[in-house]
Amino acid sequence: MKNYALNPKHGDGDKSRQHKINYVEALNDQQWQAVQQIEGPQLVIAGAGSGKTRTLVYRVAYLVEQGVDPESILLLTFTRKASREMLRRAALLLDDRCQRIQGGTFHSFANTILRQYAAHLDYPNNFTIIDRGDAEDIVNMLRAELNLDKKQRRFPKKRTLVEILSKSINTNRPVMEVLADDYPHFLDDEPQIMELAGRYLRYKQTKGLMDYDDLLVNLRRLLTEQDGIRRKLSRQFRYILVDEYQDTNLLQAMIAALLASEHANLMVVGDDSQSIYAFRGAQFKNIMDFPKIFPNTRVTTLEQNYRSTQPILDFTNAIIASAKEKYSKNLFSEISGEQKPVYLQALNEREQSQFICQRILELREEGIPLDEMAVLFRSGWHSTELEIELNSRNIPFVKFGGMKFTETAHVKDVTALLRILYNPFDAIAWYRSLLLLDGVGPATAREVIDDVVEAQKGPEILAAPEWSKRKIGGELTRLRLFIAESVSNNFSPAEETKRVLEYYLPILKKNYDDYHKRTHDLEALAKIAERYQDLEAFLTDLTLEPPENSQIDTTATDKDEEKLILSTIHSAKGLEWHSIFLINLVDGFLPATQSLQREEDIEEERRLFYVATTRAKQQLYLLTPELERGGGLSYFDTRTVFTLPSRFIQDIEKFSNLTEQWTITLKSEESETTEEKSDDGTADDGAPNFLKNINDYFNEHRN
C-alpha cells in the first residue's frame, strides 16, 4: 500500500530537496507530474478514488512552497463541502499560509467579485442574493400581474417556470429550445414565458436582486465586457485550479477560461464518468473540449485507485463499461480484500431497513465506527422508511441532502423578517412576513406592499389611520413597532435575530404542533448569527452557504457522537466510507422514473449508480426491495406493485461472478510577475492565442 504519511525529512528524492514535504514519496508518478508542472494549462482525468483531492491539495502546497503568493492561487470547486475540505487539508499539510488561498464555489467566488464591481453592471454593490424559493415567489407575483394564472389551465407553475428559465441560462439555449426539448406541452406558451422572463429580469435589476444564475451570468458579463477588469483579475489570480470540471456548465467553463486568459495557468481536474449534474447544465464535454481552448494542454490520467478493494473496483468498472460514452480508464487497486459486493433482495422496504439496521450493528460490533458507514439513495425521500427504523432502534444518524435547513418553513419565516430589517423595501420578504399575521391573506398583503414598498412610503405609513383602523390594525402595529425599534437602534445580527425570535415564537407555536423541534432550529440560527458583524453578510451566507442540516430530521444527540450517514448520491460525491449500503435499487427509483424517457438521461443515472458504488472502501451492499410502496398508505392498496430490480443490476447480473448474493435472515427482536502580453494573447515565444480561442469556442457554442 502507498505510504500516505508526510515525510518531513529531507534528502532522498532530489526534486523535493528544498521542501518541507516529500512529494515524491507521498505521490505516485502521475500525481507528482500533475503537481510539479505549475505553469501552463493542465487537464487531469482522475478516476474515482484516484487521489484527485490529494493531488490538488499537494499542488497547492507545492505552489506555496515554490514561493507563490497564496493570495494569487484560486481554487474553484463545485460544492461548498469540497471547497472547505480542500482548504482544510491544504492548511493541515503545510501551514497557515494556505488559509490565504482564495477559494470557494463558482457562486461564492462570483459573489465576492461582484460585490466589488457590480456598479460596472448597473447593479448596486449591496445587491441581495435570492434563493430558488424567492425566485419562485417573484415569478409567481409577476405571473399574477400578467393575469396568466387564470387564463389557461395549463400555464406552467411557478416552479416549472423558474426551472425553464434557469435551464435556458445554464445550458446556454434559448427558451424556445428548452421548451421544445424538455417541455413540449408548454411550447404554445412561449410568448408569455418570454414576456415573463423579461419582467423577471427587469424586476431583479431594479430591486438589486440576483438569483444563483445571475451571479454567474453577471460575472461572465463583467469579464467579457470590461476588458480592464478581466485583465486585472486574471493577473491577480495567477494560478487557477478547478475541481470537478466534468460538472461545470458552459458558463462556468467560460468564467474559468476568462480568468486564466492572461496566463493560461489553469488546471482542471475531473472524471467524465462521474458527471451527474447535467440537469443543471453541466456538460462533461467540457473536459474533452478543454484542449481545444488551450491547445498546449498537458493531459494526465490518474488510474490507480487508493480507495476501494479490487473486487469492488471490478464491479464498478463493469458498471461504467456498459456506459455508452466514456473515456476509457482502467482503474486498479492494490488494496487487499476478498469481499465481493453483496446483492440482496428484500421483500419490501421495511425488510430492507431491518436488514440494514442489523448489519450496521454487526459491523459496529466488529469495530467499524458508525460514521464510517453510509446509506445512499437517489432522492431525499427514499430514506423515510429507513429513518423510522433507525429512530426506533436509537441508531443515531445525520442526513445529507434532502430538506435543507434554510428551506424549512420556520427558517424562511425568520429570514423574511430579518430581510425586512435589513431592507424595508424587500417586497418578497414583506409578503411572507405579512402572511404570518392572522386575518391577512394574499390580497391584503398585496395592498400593504403596494403602499409600503411600491409607493416607497416605508413601514411608517402603517401608522396612518387607513391601516390602523382596520381589523388587522393591531397586528400591523405590532409589526411596525418591531421594525421601528431596529431602525432606531444599531443592533448586531445576533441581537436582531433574538428580537425576531421573540416576535416570531408565538406565531410558531400557533402554527406548528412540532414547534419544539423547530425552535431548536431557530436557536441554532441565532447561534450562527453570532459569527457575523453585519446583517448583509449573514443573509448572503444563508442563501449561498447555508448550514447543512435541519434538526427536524435528525435525532437530537450530542454533536461529537458518531453517527451513521444517510445521503443522496449527489451529496455523497467526493466522499468515501468503509461500508456503503445502496438502497432501493429498483427501476423507477434508480434510474428515476423521470429519466426513463431519454437515453442520455438514463446514461446519467448510470453514472449516478457508478458514483454511489465507488464511494465504498471495503464493503458494498446493494439492496432491492421486491415490493414498491403502493401509492396509498393502506395495506390493501391495490396499486402496490411488483417491481423490477434496477436495469443496472440486471446488466451486472451478466457478470454475476462479480457479486455475491445473500438472502436476508433477520434476527428475532427488532499579483504581476509576468510580462505584458499583447492584447490578442500572442507572445513572442509563440504562445497560443488564448483569448481568441476562448471567444471562438464560446461563440461557436452560443448558437
Partner DNA sequence: GATTAGTCGATTTTT
Partner DNA sequence: TCGACTAATC
Under the rule (CB under 7 A), what is the footprint of DNA?
78-81, 105-108, 132, 157-159, 212, 276-277, 279-280, 378-381, 400-402, 404, 408-409, 438-445, 514, 544, 568, 570-571, 592, 594-595, 631
Instruction: Name the DSSP letter for residue 377.
Output: E
Q: How far is the CB of 227 from DNA (least distance, A)?
A: 27
Q: How far is the CB of 643 from DNA (least distance, A)?
A: 15
Residue whose CB is less far from DNA, 58 or 127: 127
Residue whose CB is less far from DNA, 78 or 648: 78
Question: In this structure, are residues 376 and 568 in contact, taking their beta carbons and an 8 Å threshold?
Answer: yes
Residue whose CB is less far from DNA, 52 or 158: 158
Residue whose CB is less far from DNA, 234 or 571: 571
CA nearest neighbour of 23 among 42, 38, 10: 10
Q: How far is the CB of 226 from DNA (least distance, A)?
A: 23
CA nearest neighbour of 479 among 497, 512, 443, 504: 504
Q: Is 218 left (phi over 0), alpha (psi -120 to 50) or beta?
A: alpha
Q: How far is the CB of 217 from DNA (least distance, A)?
A: 12
Q: How far is the CB of 374 from DNA (least distance, A)?
A: 14
Q: How far is the CB of 657 from DNA (least distance, A)?
A: 31
Strands of the 298-302 sheet, one edge to the other: 102-105, 73-77, 239-242, 266-270, 42-46, 298-302
Q: How far is the CB of 80 from DNA (least distance, A)?
A: 5
Q: How far is the CB of 104 from DNA (least distance, A)?
A: 8
Residue whose CB is less far from DNA, 385 or 496: 385
112 is written with which cell numbers? Answer: 465576492
Residue whose CB is less far from DNA, 81 or 199: 81
Question: In this structure, are residues 231 and 257 in contact, taking their beta carbons and an 8 Å threshold?
Answer: no
State the SS3 of 562-575: CCEEEEEHHHHCCC
For residue 260, the number of C-alpha atoms closer than 13 Å in the C-beta half-sphere is 31
Instruction: Name the DSSP letter for residue 453.
Output: I
Q: How far is the CB of 314 from DNA (least distance, A)?
A: 27
Residue whose CB is less far from DNA, 26 or 278: 278
Instruction: Name the DSSP letter for residue 589.
Output: B
**Lookup result for grid cell 467560460:** 254
- Helix boundaries (H) for 22-51: 23-26, 29-36
Residue whose CB is less far from DNA, 105 or 423: 105
49 is written with which cell numbers? Answer: 478514488
Q: How far is the CB of 612 from DNA (least distance, A)?
A: 12
Residue 530 DSSP SS3? coil
Please, which residues have CB within 8 angstroms of residue 305's CB and are 6 or more apart in sequence?
Answer: 47, 48, 49, 50, 313, 331, 332, 333, 335
Distance between CA atoms of 386 and 376, rounded to whole angstroms? 11
Hey, what amino acid is at 381?
Answer: W
Residue whose CB is less far from DNA, 16 or 248: 248
Distance between CA atoms of 112 and 242, rounded to whole angstroms? 17
Q: How far is the CB of 212 from DNA (least distance, A)?
A: 4
Distance between CA atoms of 152 and 148, rounded to whole angstroms? 7
Residue whose CB is less far from DNA, 78 or 315: 78
Cα separations (Å) of 306 from 93, 252, 378, 614? 19, 30, 25, 11
First to last CA, the chain: 50
Q: How far is the CB of 87 from DNA (least distance, A)?
A: 15
Question: In this structure, are residues 616 and 335 in contact, taking their beta carbons and an 8 Å threshold?
Answer: no
Residue whose CB is less far from DNA, 35 or 210: 210
603 is written with which cell numbers? Answer: 446514461
27 is written with which cell numbers? Answer: 505521490
Q: How far is the CB of 537 from DNA (least distance, A)?
A: 16
Residue 591 DSSP SS3? coil
Residue whose CB is less far from DNA, 217 or 293: 217
Residue whose CB is less far from DNA, 404 or 692: 404
Residue whose CB is less far from DNA, 292 or 510: 510
Please, which residues have CB within 8 angstroms of residue 582's CB and are 6 or more apart in sequence?
Answer: 375, 376, 377, 612, 613, 620, 621, 622, 623
Q: Is the peptide bond before 625 cis (omega within 30 degrees of 0)?
A: no
Distance between CA atoms of 23 and 20, rounded to whole angstroms? 9
Q: How far is the CB of 35 from DNA (least distance, A)?
A: 27
Q: Give strand ranges (E) for 97-146.
A: 102-105, 128-129
Distance between CA atoms of 352 and 354, rounded to whole angstroms? 5
Distance between CA atoms of 321 and 313, rounded to whole angstroms? 12
Q: How far is the CB of 544 from DNA (least distance, A)?
A: 6
Residue whose CB is less far from DNA, 94 or 522: 522
Q: How far is the CB of 572 from DNA (least distance, A)?
A: 9
Question: In this structure, are residues 546 and 521 in contact, taking their beta carbons and an 8 Å threshold?
Answer: no
Distance between CA atoms of 177 and 373, rounded to whole angstroms? 43
Residue whose CB is less far from DNA, 178 or 331: 178
